[in-house]
Structure 1
Amino acid sequence: MNLSETDFLLAITTFIIMILILMMVLIYGVFVKKKSQLLLFQQRKDSLFEQELAISQIEMKEQTLNYIGQELHDDLGQKLSVARLMMSKISSGNEEDIKKIGSEINMLIGECIQDIRNLSKLFISNQVKHFGFVESLEREISRIERLQLMDVDYKINNQDLEINSNHALILFRIIQECITNVIKHSKSNKLSIEVEEFLDIITISIHDDGIGFSSNSINDGSGLKNIKNRAQIINADFIIKSTKNLGTQIRITYKKQVTWKE
């Protein structure tokens, strides 16, 4: 009888040990599967980020070339044309006029040299990485105002924002796309842009008082979907609210505490 009880206890103990081993194997299997899924998800996320970064870099290069072409035609071309006209007056002018014209030509040539240096910086490296996010944004605003596309009310609470350089490029492209949409579609003559940095986040608010659009347009627009996808890739929140004839409000919230692979 004692031997039977011993065999029974041994069998129970063996069964329990086998169950525990099986549970550990199952738990380990689930852990490995979850880990593999997380690694695969992260790889996909990194791949999407790299693709979006490459697309943004190509877009920035194309825009840079367009910008340089426009600057060469509108700014440098005009200054050199003025200098040429002044040169033609030297032969018929008196000594005092020649000195005055010479001084003005010298000033114009100096401005042209500085303009060429500024433009050459755009070729040296990526605009956002070279100038920084804030300066790139302010250059964009300056271009809009110089071309008289609309008046811009711009506010920022910190000129030295902490943004991953690759994230800054994509964030800048998001803002550019929003601004382009406002210029093309809003029929507004005023744009408000406010950048605020807090401890863990940076918020960018873009507002116009144009014609607005319906909620169906918000949901169906492929351009807005593209912007939202870009925001998601850098772990930013993108919210847009628009009312017919009352304008559009956009708010982008970039989370600084989240780091991504460079």
Structure 2
Amino acid sequence: MVHKKGYPIIFLIIAIFCVFNLKAQEGVRFHAFGEIPRSISDSLYQTLKNAKTTNDRLDAIYTIAEEHVLYGNPDSVIHYAERLDKLSSNVDYLRKVRAKRLLGIGKFMNGLYNRAFEAYVQGLEIPQNKSTLDEVNKVNFGLGEVYYVRNELDKATIQFTKLLAQNIDSPLLSKVNFYSGNIDLRERDYESARTFYSKADSLCDSIINPKLKLQIQLGFGKLDVAENNIDNALGIFENVMQSALNSKFYGLYTEAVLEYGKISTQLGRYEVAEMALAMAYTNAIQWNRLELQKRILNSLRKTYSAKGDFENAYNLTTQYIAVSNQVLKQQNSKALKELEVKYNTLQKENQIFELKEQQIEKQSEIERQKTIKKAVLYGFVILLIPIIALLVVYYQKLQTQSQLNQQQEELNSQRITALLNTQELQLARTSLEAQQEERHRIAKQLHDSIGGNLAGIKLQLGNLKNNRRFQTEIINHVNETYELVRDISHDLVPKKFHQNAFTKLIEDYIGTISENSAVEVTMSAHPKEKINQMPEKLKVELYQVIQELFTNTLKHANANTIEVHINILENTVQLIFEDDGAGFDTNSVKKGIGLQNIESRLEKLDAELIIDSALNRGTAINIEIPIKD
């Protein structure tokens, strides 16, 4: 049994062993590491220790930092990046840019994307020359990575497109093609994604850059999963796990294990999935990789939900929210916004600088040709006069045509507005007529049935003189009147909640959403029998809350997937509503009418509402409603 606080403790107990192996039924072996295995050669540290000059020491620090980048040790990367920055002189622009780039990589590996963005922008603020050109390109690539993981795909595409237009070296060009493939994979353009992956693979030298080669293979595996080539994907992930382990790329190994666990869940191999994800989570905790912890926790939650263990799925959701809050605390949103403005300004200043240089180069050429141009222009003046006259006439015609088009557009707009107003008025009239018809029906039923009965009772009371037969008739009339009132009351409750199971109503509603939109919606309910036996008032309110959540998400979130989970645990109904859309800042965004309506409904039910969201990270909403007799 997994509990809210017990889950990481279990993994840390496993992590006591220095290297601990577990083997799945299919023969795949997973590894958990109690500490970060040493992957850096002692000779590099000895070189740093024996360095006699400042330049030798700085070169040794840079080499060690790049080795830690290769083997995925973010804290060590940050440590040596800060040392490189501190020891480099202010005029050593190349080493300063390198230090900021390495610092950005370390923050990025730890999931602190805002901090990584800050470091990269600081690197671009350093004066540039020919010696810093390659490093600046790598910094711009780092910014593209940040935009990608923050789901700002348009900005990431712009960043990578700029790099593809430049003369960059093969390793960086391979990385740019790889991330371009990742963007197309996320946008479900699988053919284009495979093309980019193939370009990246052809440019990547497996001897010079073995880690990138394996990352590209991992991308092919994810693409096979998206195209439902599961067997091929499993083979790729197993190969990447083994190769990464042999090469001591432990972070990449953990990424492959995570993907293997996801497929195992999809195939219903829950024990294999739990084992793989448990090992991956152990490593993520040991290495303090917060963003990786979140991804693994989310996969574990889905695994437990798929196998019907909703209590543990709920506990993991709570832990996922806690890790998310920990990441948010370490980010600096206000500073990030200022940096974004600074970065955009810096980009504009660079463009202005380039334009000025081009202008200076062309100025002498302009001066040289000025005399020749004057002579040519004087010769063409006579010819230009009639041409200008024709252009003026043509311009006037264009102006007239533009005015006519504008008037036509205004007229069309007025017609559309009139049609919409007419349609709205017709809908309002139809709704009013339906209400009036229903009111007349109820009034007629009250008048014809209950009114007649009450009149009979009144007459019988007037004739009552200790006559037992009349008393019996009066009692019968009263009972009949009570039943009629009860029938009328039941008629006012929506019939669909009498005639259908509650879970079936939700499934039908979700089916309608899926058919009429591009959003992929999944739903789970457990146990269905208890959910369908909830009080009728609670069913109506919960149904309307779900409708309101879907309306808000489809209108604002721009999501690709939505997950809905309804559970009953210990006489409490739990609704988890999660999407992968744009998200929002819960501290600054003003609550709209939809969210206010939801809170108003939940307040009547004494329910608890928890919202976990951040920009470009989707939204998770957790609602708990006590079931009252």
- TM-score normalised according to structure 1 size: 0.48
**Which one scores higher on RCO, CA 8 angstroms, separation ≥ 6?**
1
Greater C-alpha Rg: 2
Which is richer in strand? 1
- TM-score normalised according to structure 2 size: 0.21
Which is richer in helix? 2
